[in-house]
A and B are shown apart, each in its own frame.
Chain A
């Protein structure tokens, strides 16, 4: 027995897949080649960004450099000479407010549209969906003036608040749709049981629907939170002073305005901004995609 086992161990084919023939091996090699090439195409620019951010030899303009000297001077410049921290603070403020506002509004509408049959339901949903296909962009001429009109009545109404309202308003329809689809999948018998026990509508939402729909609510909150980090256009239009910029608008001044241009500092700032978001995305990859897919399949 022992001899038999030892003798055949090297030749024993243990995989449950068929052994590859020559063409198969070449194919597999090609597959690896493609995957590795694309990985390099993705990683190289990002690697360049990281290297330039830490390279003390780089001047105001980035260039391909063989010399590398580790230094944190671009980060120092970023923190001391620019308003980077203010931009971070602004962006986080806007992002959190947008997420909270969106959650409050959408959890109500999603619940109502999923559980109630009321007059004008289908028509209003259709109307909102159509209106929202118009890019937020369409209103840029009006946003500015609307803000001055409102701030004449309520002086505390800042441009950033206007931005938050616009982000939240732009998210309502699609998020309502996503949440509605998710709540549809929760059995209505749960509601009925709660109703028999004497729950009011709000209690049903708070005690039954919200805990079950929490994963989807988290995704909606996350997407609305990330939105302000990614958007460049609206902050650029609405916010006028560098002190109120968001990250996207602020970092752009480091590469397009000749007075403040500093490309390595931009790379450093971009790196700092990207890292938390990348970690967030990679760790929550599946949930984020499922949230997206759900919304579209239902839509």
Chain B
């Protein structure tokens, strides 16, 4: 890259270069492009570059820089002596402002000699000029404000106690007078009401108006107390000073920001190399660019990277594992107490930490690169005032979502990653503390239906699908029909029916399921009723078919409430005229339901109905709490599962009771993939997702 002849700011304004050396170079490069005599100009450029330090402009610039250094050193001392001379009697705010003004005046004077030499000096000059213009005003405001405040504080100390007591008595008198007035008013209104001249509502309103008036009058009167009014005034004054001072400083900073945008910057660089040199330590580059606060923020990220993420990934500071290396070894050749599972999870944690570290490095690198590129163009880097303004505006969504991200990583992403990785290991009852990678063996076992844990998979999947479809459809049908019947205009006692029909949903499901389980046990109430009806002892819980039927019916009982509520809501919102129009066209009752009610209800509740199917697919509690997945049928289902087990309760038994964690994880992964596939299709087609406003 070459130097350009002119500098440009953010909105494309053109500026002359002040750095004559670079200007000369830029012109030579331009000549090179159009000239036929390339060799000569190249030689010229080379010579110019070789004699860079001897170039008259560079000599001047160096001189200026030395002087500036000296000046700043001197200024620092002067500032501290000045600040000491101000003494301790004035407030800290005032002191800072005065010192700032003092420094600004000195700087303005110093830089005024060099404005023609470089844009840096010009910027410093103009910046301090603004400060010199505005700071006295601010200081004056603060002086006035503090004076008034002091006056008020003085008054507070010199309150005339005697007078106060007098006023207090006065107020008491005033209060009783007012009370008299209000009582009279109220009795007048009440008598008016008795005579029937005003309504009850008007009476109430009038009385409340009177009471309000009374309260206000008392409050206004109470400010006759000097103590109280003084306290109020001090509070107000303090607030005023704070807010206005902030406002004025904000104006000052914004003006400086404007100036910054209008003043270009010149740099010797033609290529943004700094980001590449400092990318290993986020923050360093920003500090070198004099963006101190931003640099500090990135340095904190650096601390995280070098003190937490990388050591953890290398295995230091682990609970038991070995960082990322632990993921590969899985504690195979570790000590006896080392557990493969812990190695696995710590490896995953390490990976997440490293990913966060990389994100920080990338962000810093990108930020620095864009700043450097802009600098080459001629755009001055933002100061902290502007950066923080920008972060507040654009970074807001990222900042407020970060707690959510943290919780999701911790409770959702890490466990799910663990499950995925676990499904490729050989964690089974014989390999609890130490297990290795086995590739896709677990999936093979499931697909081919082999082994103790795999052979029942297809049976259970079949029952799960039957259960999902039957139980959900039954609940939907019951709920919808009930809603339709209860919505009939001629039915009385709707509130009663609706309150009753909501009960199965309102009573916590685990309670009703457990209670049904009790009633279906061999001595339970329902079993005895069936015995007296049929004369035979029917034990539901030891008969697979009956258990399944009862489970489906039970889910119909439990799930219909929710559907009932949903459909009732939709039914009530269907406009009456649709039915009237159908009546005029001679539609029968069934036709009205078939062509008006059903489509509207189904369309509006479709997503919820779909989620009901997903819910029942994973309905662990009803299966587990009703009969523990039983009854057991070892010839068909082996020893691990019962005949009413769903995939989800089978996974629970595999992982929690029988320690086949790896196969359980593999089945989980398969289920999740299936559910995600359906969900993805659903969300992608949903209207809300396609619209921009999502």
* Count of chain A residues near B, Cβ 8 A: 98
> Contact: B416 with A112, CB < 8 Å?
no
> Contact: B319 with A172, CB < 8 Å?
no
> Contact: B396 with A116, CB < 8 Å?
yes
> Contact: B342 with A172, CB < 8 Å?
no
> Contact: A282 with B319, CB < 8 Å?
no
A63 within 8 A of B: yes
> Contact: B514 with A252, CB < 8 Å?
yes
A229 within 8 A of B: yes
> Contact: A35 with B668, CB < 8 Å?
no
B510 within 8 A of A: yes
> Contact: A267 with B403, CB < 8 Å?
no
A138's partner among B415, B519, B628 (CB-CB below 8 A) is B415
> Contact: B515 with A45, CB < 8 Å?
yes
> Contact: B319 with A149, CB < 8 Å?
yes
* Count of chain B residues near A, Cβ 8 A: 103
Query: What residues on B are CB-neighbors of A17 within 8 Å?
Result: 489-490
B569's partner among A112, A139, A281, A293 (CB-CB below 8 A) is A293
Specify the chain B residue showing the minimal Cβ separation from A167: B411
Specify the chain B residue showing the minimal Cβ separation from A38: B482
Interface-centre pick from B502, B517, B569, B694 (highest chain A CB count, 10 A): B694
Query: What residues on A are CB-neighbors of B196 within 8 Å?
Result: none
Chain A residues 105 to 143 lying within 8 A of chain B, measured CB to CB, are: 105-106, 108-109, 111-113, 116, 118, 121-122, 125-126, 128-135, 137-143
Q: Say which one of A68-76, A78-86, A209-217, A230-238 lies at the interface with B.
A: A230-238
Closest Cβ of chain A to B580, distance in Å, is 13
| Cα–Cα distance between A292 and B411 once the two chains are bound (Å) | 24
| Cα–Cα distance between A139 and B341 once the two chains are bound (Å) | 13
B407 within 8 A of A: yes
Known: A118-B394, A135-B618, A282-B499. Is A255-B507 also a contact (CB below 8 A)?
no
A165's partner among B345, B411, B618, B664 (CB-CB below 8 A) is B411
> Contact: B416 with A138, CB < 8 Å?
yes
Query: What residues on A are CB-neighbors of B565 within 8 Å?
Result: 285, 289
Q: Say which one of B208-216, B281-289, B330-338, B522-530 lies at the interface with A.
A: B522-530
Specify the chain A residue showing the minimal Cβ separation from B611: A296
Query: What residues on A are CB-neighbors of B419 within 8 Å?
Result: 138-139, 141-142
Q: Say which one of B85-93, B116-124, B675-683 lies at the interface with A.
A: B675-683
> Contact: A299 with B349, CB < 8 Å?
no
Query: What residues on B are CB-neighbors of A45 within 8 Å?
Result: 512, 515-516, 519
Closest Cβ of chain A to B237, distance in Å, is 21
Query: What residues on B are CB-neighbors of A170 within 8 Å?
Result: 411-412
**Chain A 207-246 interface mask (CB, 8 Å, partner B; 1/0):** 0000000000000000000000110110001000000000
B131 within 8 A of A: no
> Contact: A229 with B508, CB < 8 Å?
yes
B621 within 8 A of A: yes
> Contact: A274 with B404, CB < 8 Å?
no
Tell me if B's interface is mostly helix, strand, loop or mixed.
helix
> Contact: B407 with A169, CB < 8 Å?
yes
B410 within 8 A of A: yes
A251 within 8 A of B: yes
Chain A residues 238 to 292 lying within 8 A of chain B, measured CB to CB, are: 248, 251-252, 255-256, 263, 266-267, 270, 273-274, 277-278, 280-282, 285-286, 289-290, 292
| Cα–Cα distance between A185 and B392 once the two chains are bound (Å) | 24
Chain B residues 21 to 43 lying within 8 A of chain A, measured CB to CB, are: none
If A101-B407, A166-B411 are given as contacts, then 12 extra A-B residue pairs at C-beta distance below 8 Å, sorted by A number, are: A42-B500, A104-B403, A130-B680, A134-B416, A138-B416, A138-B672, A142-B422, A149-B346, A165-B410, A201-B392, A233-B624, A293-B566
Chain B residues packing against A (C-beta within 8 Å) = 319, 341-342, 345-346, 349, 392-394, 396-398, 400-401, 403-404, 407-408, 410-416, 418-419, 422, 478, 481-482, 485-486, 488-491, 497-512, 514-519, 521, 523-525, 528-529, 557, 565-566, 569, 604-605, 607-608, 611, 614, 618, 620-621, 624-625, 628, 648, 651-652, 655-656, 661, 664-665, 668-669, 671-672, 675-676, 679-680, 683, 686, 688-689, 693-694
